Structure 1
Amino acid sequence: MKISQSAWNAVDTVLLDMDGTLLDKHFDDYFWEVYVPEHYSLVHNITVEEAAQQLLERYRKMENSLQWSDVEHWSRELGLDIPELKLRIDHLIAVHPHVREFLQCCRNMNKQLYLVTNAHPRTLAIKLDKTDLGGWFDRLVCADEVGFAKEQPQFWVRLQEMLGFDPARSLLADDTEKVLRTAERHGIGWLVHVARPSSRRPAARSEHYLSIDSFRELIDLAAAPAAE
């Protein structure tokens, strides 16, 4: 699927993921893979390497579920104050290049604009406080509010009921292909894969969806003259 300039006329609603899509996923990768294991190792008197391995196994069991993003769940399970730890390194929270320009572009085209994230409300609050992106959106929706993770089909049924959008006239940008596949099955008409969620890791382009390295590519398409 390609999104031409004229295709923007067929899009009424823009749904945007947060972590890895609008925000640099380096913060999350470092937090869960390095920072949490360091603190977990101190609490449990084990090596950082042992902590990382134990935590990786626990993370995997929670993948694609609401618990994976639930900071209160992980605080209880790990004996750590996860929100407090996030605040200690919130200087690593960063907006991807060209995101604000893209949001302005959507506003200029009078699109309905929604942030749709698996992030827990407490995590969302931390990141919005740091980035000040919340004001761009018509509504901010956490999976916790919906009752299902974005990887689950029920999420999209509930989300459509909540927001009243037309799936066929909606665009979703996300860095997770499983989310895009689930949204596609629900009938979301335009799907964009963010190929470089972390600034510290190489891009990994999708074989199934339009992949972008940055939102500059979608801005350029929106600004390009329509083909005659």
Structure 2
Amino acid sequence: MTAPDWQQIDTVLLDMDGTLLDLHFDNYFWLEHLPKAYAASKNISPAEALAELDKSFVGLRGTLSWYCLDYWSELTGLPVARLKEDVAYKIGFRPHVQDFLQQLKLAGKRRVIVTNAHRDSVNLKLRHTGLDQYVDRIISSHDYREPKETQAFWDHLLQDEPFDPTRTLLIDDSQAVLESAALWGIGHLLMVFHPDSAKAPVVSDRFPGIYHFDELAPGQQDSDQA
């Protein structure tokens, strides 16, 4: 990967789950913990429960409902937000994230989280990580009622959080989101190749990327070029 030219970047947009925080928590919850709870409520096996939920997973992927805890609570009849608290001990930062966010601050970059996560999920993760202390602002796509996969999300973002798209870097683990941002006009894009510490990395041939944030050093590059 060729490191971004930090002198050409004023704003850094950061995904949360799989980018700043380990995606293992989310994958474990949706693929193991929730199916077990759903199985118990329906008196079926966890495998049968996952198969039933999978039908909804496929049809909703990339939509706002896919990320909406209220929707899943209504669908399953379970208190999904509260169930997340049962496994909150699995919430954690990806490697080198805090150091990287501090480096961005020292380099004078605006740090804005843009996440598809429901606000209840965001708040749970903030309580367990203090992530909000490392960034300037956190925006959920639910605030705009549009997921990041849509062009409308970026339109809303520009009205709400003024920035120069050509001088903005987006870091995300979703290729679909990066493709949406590229189409809209975000100038600098990076993909996270190892979002889930319990799974193997997934490398994209569409976007440059990183495995961990120690590969990026905004302050060092700026001082070298000064």
TM-score for both structures, normalised by structure 1: 0.95
- The code of the aligned residue for 1:223 comes to Q
- 2:220 corresponds, among 219, 223, 226, to 223
Equivalent residue for 1:2? Answer: 2
Q: Which runs of 5+ in 1 are unaligned?
A: none
Provide closer, same or farther for how the CA distance between residues 11 and 155 of structure 1 changes in structure 2, counting only shifts above 3 A.
same
What secondary structure, in the 3-state scheme, does the structure 2 residue paired with 1:14 have? strand
Aligned to 2:37: 39
Query: Secondary structure at the residue paired with 1:39?
Result: helix
Q: CA deviation at 1:51?
A: 0.5
Shift of residue 3, structure 1, vs aligned partner = 2.8
Percentage identity across paired residues of the two chains: 37
Opposite residue 148 of structure 2, the aligned amino acid is K
Unaligned runs of 5+ in 2: none
Which of 205, 208, 223 lines up with 1:207 in the alignment?
A: 205
Distance 1:202 1:62 in 2: 25
1:198 to 196, 199, 204: 196
Q: Secondary structure at the match of 1:173?
A: strand
Which amino acid letter does the alignment assign opposite residue 161 of structure 1? Q
1:182 correspondence with 2:180: yes
Instruction: Say if 2:61 is the partner of 1:63.
Output: yes
In structure 1, distance between residues paired with 2:165 and 2:179: 14
Which shifted more, 8-17 or 64-73?
64-73
Residues 124-151 of structure 1: CA deviation (Å, up to 9, x unaligned): 0000000001022221100000220001
Separation (CA, whole Å) in 2 of partners of 1:73 and 1:187: 31
SS at match of 1:15: strand
- Kept in 1, the 8 Å contact 2:106–2:219? The answer is no
Provide TM-score, normalisation by structure 2: 0.96
Task: Tell me the distance in 2 between the aligned counterparts of 1:48 and 1:133.
Answer: 33
Task: Work out the CA distance in 2 between the residues paired with 1:111 and 1:173.
Answer: 14
1:227 Cα offset (Å): 6.9
* Alignment equivalent of 1:159, drawn from 115, 138, 157: 157
Partner of 1:48: 46
Partner of 1:130: 128
Amino acid at match of 2:110: Q
Cα distance in 2 between the residues matched to 1:61 and 1:151: 15
Q: Per-residue displacement from partner, 1:73-115 (whole Å, max 9, x unpaired)?
A: 1111101111111001100001001000000010001111101
Q: Does residue 95 of the first structure (1) align with residue 89 of the second (2)?
A: no
The amino acid across from 1:15 in the alignment is L
Partner Cα separation in structure 2 for residue 80 and residue 36 of structure 1: 9
Aligned pair count reads: 225
Task: Supply the distance in 2 between the matched residues of 1:69 and 1:185 (Cα, whole angstroms).
Answer: 22
Partner of 1:80: 78
CA distance in 1, matches of 2:61, 2:74: 17
